[in-house]
Structure 1
Amino acid sequence: MTATILIIEDHNDIQRLLCEELSTDYQVLQAYSGTEGLLYLKTEKPDLVLLDIMLPGLSGQEVLEQARQFSDVPIIMVTALDDKAMVSQYLLSGANDYVTKPFDLNELRARIAVQLRLAHTSTDKPTDTLKHLNITLDLQTFEIRSEAVSLSLSKKEFDIFKLLLENPQKVFTKAQLYENVWKEPFLAEEHVLNTQLSNLRKKLHQLDPTQEYIKTVWGIGVRLTESRDL
C-alpha cells in the first residue's frame, strides 16, 4: 500500500516542489496552515508529516505538541533556522527528524524512507492490543475498549496505561513513571503526572466501574491492579 505524506507548508513554491517530487512514490496531502494541517492529521491519518515551523494560524511547534497528544505519526520538521537549541527542542517535543532549508531532495527522500521504515517496523508486531481484566488497550488507535464501548486516550494517558500493562507486577514510583513516559527528569512539584493519572482512572472507571485498574501503593507509587487485589 502506498504511504501517505502530509505536507504542512505555507510557501507555494516549496509546496509545489515537494508535491511534484514526492507524488511519484507517495500519496500527498497538502496543507497551507497549521490549523489545516492538524485537521488533516486527525481526519486523514497520514503515514508521515513534513511540518514547516513558520506557519500561519498554529505554528509548527504548536502543531507538533498537539499532534503528540493523539498520534505517533513520524514528523519531520522543516526549518529555515539552523539553530541547534531550537532543533533540540523540536526533537524533545516529539519530532522524529528535521531538515533545514534549502534542503537536498535526495537527502529528504532518504530521511522519509528511514522514518517510514522505522514506523513500519515498530507497528509490525504479533498483537496490536493489550488486555487486562475487562478492558482492552488498542495500540494502533490509542483507545480503551470494554465490550462494544470505547474511549480515546491522550498520548500521555496511553503511554502510562501501556507501561503499566507491560509491567503488571511492577510498582512505579512517581519519578519512575514520569521519567519513563515524559523522557525527562522528574520534579517533585510536578503536578502534570497526577492530572494524567486522574484522567486515565476516570476513563477506566467510565468503561468498567466494577473494577479498580490502577492501584495506589501508599508511600511508594502505583501499579496495575492484580486479580488478587480484587
Structure 2
Amino acid sequence: MEKILVIEDSSDMQEMLVNLLSPKYQITSAYSGTEGLLLFNQVPFSLIILDRMLPGKSGAEVLAAIRLTSQIPVIILTALDDASEIAQFLLAGANDYITKPFNIDELSARITVQLRNTAPQQSKVLTYRKITLNSAQFIISNGQHQCSLKKKELAIIQLLFSHPNTIFTKEHLYETIWNEPFLDNENTINVHLSNLRHKLNQLDPTHKYIETIVSSLIILP
C-alpha cells in the first residue's frame, strides 16, 4: 500500500482525508510544516498533500525544503483560486494543486495520475551490499535507517552503484556528473565524496564502500 503524507493543520480536513483515502492508501497526518518535514525525512512516502497555509513553516517553505532532496509528487491544497499564487507553487516544484472545497473524486484522480507518472522512477532502486538507493526518493537506506541525498550525491552514488568494481578517475566522475570540464575542481568532488562516505558509514560502518586509489575511485567488491 502506497504511503501518503498529508500536511494540513485543520483536524476536520485531516479526518476527512484519512476517512476517504485510507481504504486505498496508508495516510500519515502532520499538522504543521515543521512536523511534516520531520516525518518526510523519516519515512519514504510516495506522495505528499501539502496545505498552502500552515503554522511553523509555510507550505512554500516546506515545498522548497522537500525539493532540495526529493522529486516526490506534491499536490498543493489551497483555499484560494489565485492563478498567480498557484503558478508560483507550480514553478517552485509542485506537481499539481486543488482548491478547497474540492470533490474527493477529483482529488483521488489527481493522486492516481501523479503516482502513475512517477511509478517508473520509483522502481529505480539499486542495492549494493547492505545499502539500498532509491533514486526517486533521493535516499539511501539500510533497513529502517536512511539518509537523504543531495542531487549531486545522488548522481555520484547512482553511477558508482550501477558499476561496482569499476575504477573512475575524479576527472571522469566530475565531467560525467557536472557535465562540464574538470579543470581545477578536485576540491568540489572531494567534498561530495567525503559527505557520501560519511552517510554510507552512518548506515553501514562494517563496510567501506568508496576507496580512493591515488586520483581514482573504486567501489569495493
Q: Same fold (TM over 0.5)?
A: yes
The CA deviation at 1:46 is 2.2
The Cα offsets for residues 129-156 of structure 1, whole Å up to 9 and x where unpaired, read as 388xxxx8823463399xxxx9945332
Whether 2:135 is the aligned partner of 1:143: answer no
Any residues of structure 2 matched to 1:189-228 within 5 Å, and which?
A: 199-204=191-196, 210-211=211-212
Whether 2:155 is the aligned partner of 1:156: answer no
Q: Structure 2 regions of 5+ residues with no counterpart?
A: 163-167, 181-185, 199-207
Equivalent position of 2:95 in the other structure: 96
> What is the TM-score with the length of structure 1 in the denominator?
0.64
Q: Work out the percentage of aligned pairs sharing the same amino acid.
A: 37
CA RMSD of aligned residues (A): 3.9
The CA deviation at 1:33 is 0.8
Q: Structure 1 regions of 5+ residues with no counterpart?
A: 178-193, 216-224
CA distance in 2, matches of 1:58, 1:196: 31
SS at match of 1:117: helix
Count of paired positions: 191
Cα distance, 1:112–1:205 mapped onto 2, change above 3 Å = closer
SS at match of 1:86: helix
Tell me which amino acid in the other structure corresponds to 1:211.
T
CA distance in 2, matches of 1:98, 1:44: 23
> What is the TM-score with the length of structure 2 in the denominator?
0.66
CA distance in 2, matches of 1:143, 1:14: 33
CA distance in 2, matches of 1:151, 1:12: 30
- Kept in 2, the 8 Å contact 1:157–1:196? The answer is no
Equivalent position of 1:20 in the other structure: 19
The Cα offsets for residues 95-120 of structure 1, whole Å up to 9 and x where unpaired, read as 22211222221111001011122232
Cα distance, 1:94–1:161 mapped onto 2, change above 3 Å = farther
Any residues of structure 2 matched to 1:81-92 within 5 Å, and which?
A: 81-92=80-91
The CA deviation at 1:61 is 1.3
Tell me which amino acid in the other structure corresponds to 1:107.
E
Cα distance, 1:195–1:75 mapped onto 2, change above 3 Å = farther
